[in-house]
């Protein structure tokens, strides 16, 4: 198991750990070693059939794969496998699975919480009171809005995007979705209107980003796109910071025309002197949208269930195939 003690503690409770051990011999890295070191990973995988990865695990490079001739499955405790999987992995016959489904609801729920906070200007009230504003000044926030009846734009009908849109629809919001892979039939099933990004930005009171980082999505929200947002619009990003031009976002936020809630940043950890920390119209969280106890326990259970399926020769439920790899974040 090529995961740090911290990852093992977060994702594998006692029952899940026991279930994993029943599947075969579980080998852990030696105390004090770093699974982010390719040599350590190669030694750990010398006669392994399956590797469980987590934050900080080294990628399956050519040298690691050469040292792991029996390796046939990588089971990742998170969602994005791109930091760990290489083209050589697939070429060498290593199958890949991940636990992104476990985290979708948690991310969707936090995006909903951020949406509600922005709509009701809770971040502005909190900032004003904490920084010494008098009572009357603290109450002088921009107009507050309700989610019921609001138009919400969702960029990316991903797992997290679908979790979020289901939640906001339950509150009575009208939902627009921009996603080139979403069919009209799927849009009907989801109860949303499929539109282009520009139209979505121009029509939405709230825009929530849920797209993966791909060549076509990097910087997809820049100065031009931000200018399309109506005055008073709200931007929520629990996906990836690379989707947004941070300099353009800072400029737009500096005008006070829009508000934003951000869980992801170009620089992580976010520097203590970063200008985002000082703006009253920004709500910040430290890249923890997926980090609920329940989501991590679900992820651990998914990993163990996938390994069990693999060992029994059954189809994997969460496999990432080579042809899907370029579309994943």
Catalytic residues: 240, 268, 287
> Are 207 and 201 a contacting pair, CB within 8 Å?
yes
pLDDT in single tens digits along all 329 residues of the chain: 998 899 999 999 999 999 999 999 999 999 999 999 999 999 999 999 999 999 999 999 999 999 999 999 999 999 999 999 989 999 999 999 999 999 999 999 999 999 999 999 999 999 999 999 999 999 999 999 999 999 999 999 999 999 999 999 999 999 999 999 999 999 999 999 999 999 999 999 999 999 999 999 999 999 999 999 999 999 999 999 999 999 999 999 999 999 999 999 999 999 999 999 999 999 999 999 999 999 999 999 999 999 999 999 999 999 999 988 877 76
Q: Per residue in 152-182, pLDDT tens?
A: 999 999 999 999 999 999 999 999 999 999 9
- d(CA 194, CA 177) in angstroms, rounded, equals 5
- d(CA 17, CA 8) in angstroms, rounded, equals 9
- d(CA 329, CA 327) in angstroms, rounded, equals 7
How many CB atoms neighbour CB 268 within 10 A? Answer: 10
- d(CA 34, CA 44) in angstroms, rounded, equals 11
Domains and CATH numbers, the chain: 5-98+292-325 (3.40.50.720), 104-284 (3.40.50.720)
For residues 8, 93, 48, 68, the Cα torsion angle rounded to the nearest 10 degrees is -110
Region of 61 (left: φ > 0; alpha: ψ -120 to 50; beta: rest) is: beta
In terms of Cβ atoms closer than 10 Å to its own Cβ (0-12, 13-18, 19+), residue 157 is buried
- The DSSP secondary structure of 165-177, one letter per residue, reads HHHHHHTT-EEEE
| SS3 label, residue 52 | strand
> Are 181 and 164 a contacting pair, CB within 8 Å?
no
How many CB atoms neighbour CB 218 within 10 A? Answer: 12
Starting at the earlier edge strand, list the strands of the sheet with 50-53: 50-53, 73-76, 95-98
What's the count of helices (H) and strands (E) in the chain, helices before strands?
15, 10
pTM higher than 0.75 for the full model?
yes
């Amino acid at each position: 198991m090529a995961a740090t003690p911290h990852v093992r503690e977060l994702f594998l409770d006692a029952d899940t750990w026991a279930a994993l051990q029943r599947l075969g011999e579980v080998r852990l890295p030696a105390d004090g070693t770093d699974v982010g070191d390719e040599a350590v990973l190669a030694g750990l995988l010398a006669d392994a059939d399956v590797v469980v990865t987590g934050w900080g695990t080294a990628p399956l490079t050519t040298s690691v794969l050469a040292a792991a001739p029996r390796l046939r499955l990588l089971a990742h405790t998170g969602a994005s496998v791109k930091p760990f999987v290489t083209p050589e992995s697939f070429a060498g016959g290593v199958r890949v699975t991940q636990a992104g489904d476990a985290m979708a609801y948690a991310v969707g729920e936090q995006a909903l919480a951020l949406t509600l906070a922005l709509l009701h200007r809770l971040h502005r009230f909190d900032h004003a009171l904490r920084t010494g504003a008098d009572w009357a000044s603290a109450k002088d926030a921009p107009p507050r809005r309700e989610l019921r009846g609001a138009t919400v734009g969702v960029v990316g009908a991903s797992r997290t995007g679908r979790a979020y849109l289901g939640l906001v629809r339950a509150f009575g919001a009208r939902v627009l979705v921009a996603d080139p892979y979403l069919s009209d039939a799927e849009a009907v099933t989801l109860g949303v209107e499929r539109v282009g990004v520009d139209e979505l930005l121009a029509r939405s009171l709230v825009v929530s980003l849920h797209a993966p980082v791909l060549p076509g999505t990097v910087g997809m929200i820049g100065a031009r796109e931000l200018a399309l947002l109506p005055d008073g619009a709200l931007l929520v990003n629990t996906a990836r910071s690379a989707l947004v031009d941070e300099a353009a976002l800072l400029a737009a936020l500096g005008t006070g025309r829009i508000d934003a809630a951000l869980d992801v940043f170009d620089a992580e950890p976010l520097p203590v002197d970063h200008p985002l920390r000082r703006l009253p119209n920004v709500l910040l969280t430290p890249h923890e949208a997926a980090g609920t106890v329940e989501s991590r326990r679900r992820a651990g259970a998914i990993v163990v269930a996938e390994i069990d399926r693999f060992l029994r020769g059954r189809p994997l439920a969460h496999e990432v195939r080579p042809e899907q790899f370029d579309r994943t974040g």
